[in-house]
Amino acid sequence: MKNGLTIFAGIFAIVAASWAGLLLTAHRQYGGLAQYVDALDGNAYPLPLSGLADQGRLVYEDLGCATCHTQQVRRADFGADLDRKWGERQSYARDYIREKTVHLGDSRLGPDLRNVAARGYVDGTFLYKLLYAPHSVAPGTNMPAYPFLFDVRRVNPGQASPLALPFTGRFAPPAGSEVVPTRRAVALAAYLLSLKDTYDYPVERAKNTPPAPEKKGEH
Ligand code: HEC
């Protein structure tokens, strides 16, 4: 093996060049992104998560919600996300810079959740019902139930919890009991209700708008 050293040096150079290409280029593009301070309202966007929502982020990770849900709205010429009303605009890299773990996801058995809090029908009660008994709000859905995020407990007359789920009919708990979200469910709902990228960065708008297509016949 008299060429051993040359082969090793060659392989090393190839691996090093791909590593540098992949990591350093990405770092140059995204690593320097900072929050954007809006001169009008003085806020630095993206806004941080509240403490409770940050706990909910861990529940989201823990339960593997990202196996079926993405958190990335593709731009108009990349897919139908905007037509499906999954967002008012595409997702920008800057949207994610404050996230400790980014849940882009890659499989869409369920809808994209990046802007779930901006959908009019989504509130705490809807989310609790969906998590406890998905078929109560989305009949025939594939979304699994997460009953362990709730306590079903006896209730004394006149002492119902304000968080008790308003179920009637076949989803209602046995008479004399109520379904109440646990702390994990409350945190998860707070996280989901924080998912809303409605702030439109002026800097991103200019950078991410694809150039207008050239008109035929004009030179
Ligand atoms: C096996 C796949 C699957 C998993 C895992 C899953 N979901 Fe879903 N989810 C769905 C599907 C499918 C729907 C669409 C329901 C319908 O038919 O309207 C949905 C709907 C939703 C919606 C309503 C979105 C909307 O716009 O109406 C929310 C919120 C949601 N899921 C949150 C979660 C959370 C939180 C978890 C983890 C605890 C989770 N999902 C896990 C499949 C899944």
Give 125-181 pLDDT, tens digit per residue.
999 999 999 999 999 999 999 999 999 999 988 899 999 999 888 899 998 999 999
* d(CA 69, ligand 1 centre) in Å: 7
- Whether the Cβ atoms of residue 148 and residue 63 lie closer than 8 Å to each other: no
Q: Is 137 in the pocket of ligand 1 (CB under 6 A)?
A: no
50 — phi, psi (to 5°)? -70, 165
- Separation of CA 53 and ligand 1 centre (Å): 18
| Band (1; pLDDT cuts 50, 70, 90) | low
Residue 64 CA to residue 78 CA, distance in Å, equals: 26
